Amino acid sequence: MKTKSFATLLALVSGIAGLSLGLIAAEKKAANKKPELKIDSTPVAAVKSNVVTSYADVLDPIRPAVVSVYSTKVVREQIPEFFRRQGYQGREQTQKGLGSGVIVSTDGYILTNNHVVEGADEVEVALNDERKFAAKVIGTDPKTDVAVLKIEGENLPAVTLADSGTLRVGDVVFAIGNPLGVGQTVTMGIVSATSRKVGILDEVQGYEDFIQTDAAINQGNSGGALIDARGRLVGINSAILSTSQGNIGIGFAIPINLASAIMHSLIETGTVARGYLGVSTTQVTPDLAEEFKLPKETKGVIVADMPADGPAAKAGLKRDDVITAINGRPVSTVEDLRLIVAQFTPGTKVTLTIIRDSKQETKEVTLGQRPDDVVASGEFLPGVHVEALTADLRREYRVNNDVEGIIVTGLDDNSPYQGIFARGVVIVSINRESVVDVNSARQLLRPGRNLAFIYYRGSFRYVPFNNSTR
């Protein structure tokens, strides 16, 4: 009986062991199973496509419109205050700069970078056909590094602008400019990224939405053209990231959609007035999405605060509203919101897509003007410092409440306008156009002879003056 039982037990143990070994072997076999791969062994040459052997025909019409920009400015050596009071002046030195630019209209408007012409006393443009022109600086925008020049000439070439919003990573692009002063040069690469923000303009609280490219960009390329494979302008080359100040394949260009919007504003008004929504926001994170009972995939920004008299508050937005889009353009980050709003002009009506109490709604908002774009004071003409009229200034200079304009609050000793303007003069109009702030006054100036209508010590009169500034 015991022998039979022992035999039965031995058989049962053997069976279990065999089953375990079988399962281990099966698991091992499954673990070693080869992955299923998608393989296309067809040679590249076998794919039916038109092989491009040259882009010369694409680039030939564009190259004449890419110009060299030469800037000159005179700087005076800094000397201690004590010596300045004794009448000593520092020596003057001439600094020269080189960059590139792109003619965007046959009447001579040119896009370039602000840093190419910043502070320049004279600007000269050289075309590829060896023609040279004196250029006028129409306006600059440090916050996007865009500048607009104007030349007067005949038979000027011009580029065709593309929609930079359609660019995709991998698109072929060409950088054209005058790197290191060697002459016009074309380099080729691809779009490496779009909507890149790298902090290059942080010092001026700028707006970055760069196209990143590996097309070689070097010093002197700034302000030149980034061209797509169809020969259209998609960007203005602006900067590089490098450890050696040379090209390492990380270059950045301002999208032409942004650059052209800035250009139109500078040409039409002389300044860049950016839209203002009037909200403080926080980016939606997974934790915040859970807290606000939002779907996990929600992207947007949460309204944290807003001034009671701002455009958003007037349109009915509330704290904790989640902004997900503006005019259909997705808003994923705080920087997205700031950049999109800034591309509209004040007074523009936009539609915000929001989520409130887990429900999607739309709100129509009329954008205001950014407070930091309103110039309350500044230098109107060389050595002539002006401010917007305030109640305190009216009392100080005894200006009636019905007088509107800007008031002269300072006049440098070496100003060429000594004897023409004086402290306390209210500039009411320039060339018979009303003045409302410093920006409008500057815009009304024209080269050569101008006419100011002023209020001073209780009376109005016309004052002619000459404007020699650019």
153 labeled binding residue: no
Name the residue among 100, 110, 72 with its Cα closest to residue 217. Answer: 100
Q: Is 221 annotated as a binding residue?
A: yes
Sign of CA dihedral 111, 225, 105, 340: negative
Residues 292, 299 contacting (CB under 8 angstroms): no
> Where do the domains of the chain lie, and which CATH numbers do they carry?
61-150 (2.40.10.10), 164-269 (2.40.10.10), 275-371 (2.30.42.10), 375-467 (2.30.42.60)
Is 385 one of the annotated binding-site residues? Answer: no
How many Å apart are CA 107 and CA 435, to the nearest integer?
A: 29
Single-letter residue type at 396: E
Q: Which amino acid is at 428?
A: V
Count how many residues are written for the chain.
Answer: 470
> How many CB atoms are located within 10 Å of the residue 108 CB?
19
- Find out whether 96 and 72 touch, Cβ atoms under 8 Å: yes
The amino acid at 169: V
SS (H, E, C) the chain: CHHHHHHHHHHHHHHHHHHHHHHHHHHHHHHCCCCCCCCCCCCHHHCCCCCCCCCHHHHCCCHHHEEEEEEEEEEECCCCHHHHHCCCCCCEEEEEEEEEEEECCCCCEEEEEHHHHCCCCEEEEECCCCCEEECEEEEEECCCCEEEEECCCCCCCCCCECCHHHCCCCCEEEEEECHHHCCCEEEEEEEEEEEECCCCCHHHCCCCCEEEECCCCCCCCCCCEEEECCCCEEEEEEEECCCCCCCCCCEEEEEHHHHHHHHHHHHHHCCCCCEECCCEEEECCHHHHHHCCCCCCCCCEEEEECCCCCHHHHCCCCCCCEEEEECCEECCCHHHHHHHHHCCCCCCEEEEEEEECCEEEEEEEECEECHHHCCCEEEEECCEEEEECCHHHHHHHCCCCCCCCEEEEEECCCCCCECCECCCCEEEEECCEECCCHHHHHHHCCCEEEEEEEEECCEEEEEEEEECCC
What is the distance of C-alpha 17 from the center of its chain? 73
pLDDT at res. 28: 57
Query: Would the annotation count 115 as a binding residue?
Result: yes
Looking at residue 309, its pLDDT comes to 86
Residue 323 amino acid letter:
I
User: Which residues have CB under 8 Å from 86's CB, separation 6+?
Assistant: none
Active site residues per annotation? 115, 145, 222
pLDDT of residue 340: 92
Does 145 appear as a known binding residue? yes
Cα Rg, the chain, nearest whole Å:
32
Q: Are 342 and 265 in contact (CB under 8 A)?
A: no
Q: What pTM does this model have? A: 0.68
**Rounded to 10 degrees, what is the CA torsion of 289, 291, 293, 299?**
-10
- One digit per residue, the tens of pLDDT, for the chain of length 470 reads 445 555 555 555 555 555 555 555 555 555 567 677 666 666 645 555 677 789 999 999 999 999 999 998 776 555 565 555 555 555 667 778 899 999 999 999 999 999 999 878 889 999 999 899 999 988 889 899 999 999 999 889 999 999 998 999 999 999 999 988 889 999 999 999 999 998 888 887 889 999 999 998 888 889 999 999 999 999 999 987 765 666 677 899 999 999 998 998 888 877 787 889 999 999 999 999 999 999 988 999 999 999 888 999 999 999 999 999 999 999 999 999 999 998 888 889 999 999 999 899 999 999 987 766 655 557 788 888 888 888 878 888 889 888 989 999 888 888 888 889 999 999 999 998 888 777 778 878 887 889 999 999 889 999 999 886 54
Give the model's pLDDT for residue 1.
45
CA angle 120, 124, 126 (to 5 degrees): 145
**Spatial strand order in the sheet of 132-134:** 132-134, 122-126, 66-76, 92-103, 109-113, 146-150, 136-141
Backbone angles phi, psi at 450, to 5 degrees: -130, 165
Token pair listed for 105:
């209209």
